Amino acid sequence: MSERASFLLKLMAGAGLLFLHLPLAFIVLYAFSTEEKSYQFPPPGYTTRWFAVAWERQDIWAALTLSVQVALIATALALVLGTLAAGALARTRFFGREAISLLIVLPIALPGIVTGISLRSAFAIADIPFSFWTIVLGHATFCIVVVYNNAVARLRRTSPSLIEASMDLGADSFQTFRHVVLPNLATSLLAGGMLAFALSFDEVIVTTFTAGQQTTLPIWMLTELIRPRQRPVTNVVAVFVMAVTFIPILAAYYLTRDTADVAGSGK
Asked if 142 and 108 count as a contact pair (C-beta separation under 8 A), the reply is: yes
> Please, what is the Cα angle at 24 between 214 and 30, to 5 degrees?
85
In 167-184, which positions are buried (b, 16+ CB within 10 angstroms) versus exposed (e)? eeeebeeeebbeebbeeb
Q: Which residues of the chain have pLDDT under 70?
A: 1, 36-40, 159-161, 163-164, 167-168, 172-173, 227-230, 252-267
pLDDT at 264: 41
pLDDT at 73: 92
pLDDT at 246: 77
What are the structural domains, with CATH classification, of the chain? 58-256 (1.10.3720.10)
pLDDT at 262: 42
Q: What is the pTM of this model?
A: 0.76
pLDDT at 159: 67
Task: Please enumerate in sequence order all residues whose Cβ is within 8 A of that of 137, keeping only pairs 6 or more positions apart, or say none.
Answer: 119, 210
Question: What letter would DSSP give residue 178?
Answer: I
